[in-house]
Amino acid sequence: MKKDIILAGVGGQGILSIATVIGSAALQQNLHLKQAEVHGMSQRGGDVQSNLRLSSEPIFSDLIPKGGADLIVSLEPMEALRYLPYLAPDGWIITNTAPFVNIPDYPDMERVKAELARWPNVVALDVDTVAKDLGNARGANMVLLGAMAAVLHILEPEALREGIRRIFARKGDVIVENNIKAFDAGLAFSQNCK
């Protein structure tokens, strides 16, 4: 089995924390993994993406071919659309619906929503609000991770929870538990959508 994932967002939103948890879980499950990241100038408030590939077999390319991604997972709705040509015809879009507006010509949100709605497999939720309601505003990316866990399949939700425990262990039990709650909220939303 293999899963190719494009993680998208705006520099500083924390897409790499999602990748770190998945990476930890994948390592534990003896999966092969490649994860191309963005460092340097582009991180400064620009669009960022990470190509994350998981497979039970060896992986060659660090980059996902166009039309090859099983999932686009985005912390920002317009950024999810940026990578559409990479999505496989039966691929999923899992996206935050809260826009990050730091450019003057950000498109009308109705157009962004309409474009997302055209896609057959979409899970769209306001992870910022879900996280805030849980009293864990910084856990928005864990809500999104939970939302993608419902369709990821190559890693079980419990393996991802274990990943969260390992990655956040040094920050203390409270942060671990809050992030697990955020994860579970995203997972529940996504399961109800399906």
Binding site residues, other proteins, CB under 8 A: 10-12, 23-24, 27, 32-47, 51, 59-68, 78-79, 81-82, 84-89, 102-103, 105-107, 111-112, 115
Tell me the three-class secondary structure of 80-122, residue by residue: HHHCHHHEEEEEEEEEECCCCCCCCCCCCHHHHHHHHHCCCCE
Of 122 and 188, nearer to other proteins (C-beta) is: 122
Please identify, using beta-carbon distances, which residue of 25 and 187 lies nearer to other proteins.
Answer: 25
52 vs 185 by CB, closer to other proteins: 52
- Smallest gap from residue 107 Cβ to other proteins (A): 5
DSSP assigned state of 65: P
CA–CA gap between residue 75 and residue 58 (Å, rounded): 29
Q: Is 31 left (phi over 0), alpha (psi -120 to 50) or beta?
A: beta
To the nearest whole angstrom, how small is the minimum distance from the Cβ of residue 149 to other proteins? 19
User: Residue 171 CB, nearest distance to other proteins (Å)?
Assistant: 11
Cα–Cα dist 115/14, whole Å: 24
Question: Closest CB to other proteins among 89 and 192?
Answer: 89
Nearest to 37 by CA among 56, 13, 19: 19
Q: Closest approach of Cβ 82 to other proteins, in Å?
A: 5
